[in-house]
Chain A
Amino acid sequence: MQNAKRTADLIAPAGPAPAWTGFATLLYKELLRFWKVSFQTVAAPVLTAVLYLLIFGHALEGRVQVYERLSYTAFLVPGLVMMSMLQNAFANSSSSLIQSKVTGNLVFVLLTPLSHVEFFGAYVVASMVRGLAVGAGVLVVTLPFASVSVEHPFWAAGFALAGCAILGTMGLLAGIWAEKFDQLAAFQSFIIMPLTFLAGVFYSIHSLPAFWERASRLNPFFYMIDGFRYGFFGVSDVDPAASLAIVGVFLAGLAAITLGLLKTGYRLRH
């Protein structure tokens, strides 16, 4: 700050800044955050999914026939891909936000002109990218174990994107609500895990007793996994258009709640 730079220069022109720069920077930071530790955030969940495939595939192959002409291992692949995407999309936004809250460095974002919409967008899109990266990884490494084809790629992509967006949003919600790491862990153990495991990753809900089949239909995660599986095999328990509509409404509702909380600064701005 030599004398050459006088006040007049320092009082920066308050003209409109490039509209996307703030959002793009926060997104970039969120991507960098998980990419710098991708061994932990991408490679590890891929390995976990492969272990599921090997263990359940080995234990149940030949004993469980879900759809005709479809091996159990092949049936398992889309479910595992989706489950990994959902869990990692959730983990990304929730752990990023709680870490920033607990360590206090969230202040660097809160002090800036970023709006609640930009904040929401950056966290959710970064979560989606992580979810999709893990999903792609799981798909690639499981291919040698089962012959899987993607019959309707657009349906598969639609459900993958929507599922990751939903879990990224739920992660944001959990991160906003939680004030300690163990609260977040509770959210994950008591809400996310049961909803995922009971969504038909390992079975078709048609194989369930009537009560549990009906109960499964109340679980929004079921529609994500069922619809995603339709994208692969062209068969599903529920019409994929209906599933996508339900998933879309669920996403819109969650997004509205989360945006509302961010706008009021709930548990972020005191």
Chain B
Amino acid sequence: MVAAIEIRGLVKRYGALQALAGIDLEIQPGEFFGLLGPNGAGKTTLISILAGLARADSGSARVLGHDVVADYRSSRRLLGVVPQELVFDPFFTVRETLAIQSGYYGLRANGDWIDEVMHHLDLASKADANMRTLSGGMKRRVLIAQALVHRPPVIVLDEPTAGVDVELRQGLWEFIRRLNRDGHTVVLTTHYIEEAEMLCDRIAMLKTGRIVALDATAELIRRFHALYLRVRLEGTVPERLASLAVGSEAGRHTFKLGEYAEVETALAELRATGARILEMELVQPDLEEVFVQIMRGAGTPDAERETHR
């Protein structure tokens, strides 16, 4: 099966800044894929090259087998991109905007589909409103609708919920999920790790233009299968336990344990030294924790990259 997105050795430099330092990535049709990374990690550059908004210095990118440079007409027809910035054309209404966008893709009588997309994005009541008069959240929805006018099988959303209020965010997630269920390949970049954890089957983490982790979301979390024991104590911490501490401050301690069985040992040691436990909780890592650790360099890039391509 031809990959929805296939990226080989992608390198991009902006002057002194190495935006992408050799990216290899394959995303299969039907996947819900997340691109995570701090600002400047290269997420938007990667998407820009896929979309033809930027040119790679070397390497190649394909959308469903079509090269984004040599065969850009096909690749762009297969790709729907929701840009990160809230851009719009102030001259037009929502419906005009969507009809014009359809026309660019060679679609003339696209009214039925436009109505359907507007309906699903709750834009129908604003169909004849000028773009200028819409709220930020509404403009964001129009951006999404614009990316869908030509029914692209591969959809890329660059921070689709940035600056969107909580209620609308839920609605957008639901809509994007539905697109994925209906067979669209979805690639999402986000700052909200919770968003990626909830939506994405598989995640690539980018740092300074490199992929530092690439795996199924559950697998990424499982790999950091540490368990954290947080306690507030009266008394002293036994020596062995102190060596496991990842944070100790004013009677509050966090110990990193391997598995649940170790909890019992830890508690026994505390009892043996006569320490009194005032508060206690067990914390399992979530994606955010994994992300922070990987970005700090805890993840070893090479080991991460060989699994689950």
Show 20 residue pairs from A and B whose CB-CB distance is below 8 angstroms, ordered by the A residue. Answer: A1-B116, A6-B183, A7-B184, A11-B151, A14-B78, A22-B105, A25-B102, A26-B103, A29-B103, A104-B87, A111-B79, A112-B104, A112-B105, A113-B73, A113-B74, A113-B106, A115-B73, A269-B54, A270-B54, A270-B55
Is there an interface contact between A25 and B104, defined as CB atoms closer than 8 Å? yes
Total contacting residues, chain B, CB less than 8 A: 45
Q: Does A105 contact B (CB under 8 A)?
A: yes
Q: Does B107 contact A (CB under 8 A)?
A: yes
Query: CA of A109 to CA of B150 in the docked complex: distance in angstroms?
Result: 14
Q: Does B260 contact A (CB under 8 A)?
A: no
Q: Does B153 contact A (CB under 8 A)?
A: yes
Contact count band on A: 35 or more
Binary B-proximity of A18-41 (CB < 8 A = 1, otherwise 0)? 110110111011001100100000
Q: Which residues of A sit under 8 angstroms from B151, Cβ to Cβ?
A: 10-12
Select the stretch in B45-53, B189-197, B219-227, B272-280 that faces chain A. B45-53
Q: Does B108 contact A (CB under 8 A)?
A: yes
Is there an interface contact between B106 and A17, defined as CB atoms closer than 8 Å? yes
> 7 tightest A-B contacts by CB?
A7-B183, A17-B106, A25-B103, A112-B104, A104-B87, A113-B73, A11-B153
**Measuring CB to CB, which residues of chain B are less than 8 angstroms from any residue of chain A?**
14, 30, 48, 51-55, 72-74, 76-79, 81, 83, 85, 87-92, 96, 100-108, 116, 120, 146, 150-151, 153, 178-179, 182-184
Is there an interface contact between A269 and B89, defined as CB atoms closer than 8 Å? no
Is there an interface contact between B104 and A105, defined as CB atoms closer than 8 Å? no
Q: Which residues of A sit under 8 angstroms from B105, Cβ to Cβ?
A: 17, 22, 112-113
Q: Which residues of A sit under 8 angstroms from B79, Cβ to Cβ?
A: 111
Given A10-B183, A21-B106, A21-B108, A113:B153 Cβ within 8 A: no
Interface centre among B52, B85, B104, B150 (most CB of A within 10 A): B104
Is there an interface contact between B103 and A22, defined as CB atoms closer than 8 Å? yes
Q: Which residues of B sit under 8 angstroms from A115, Cβ to Cβ?
A: 73
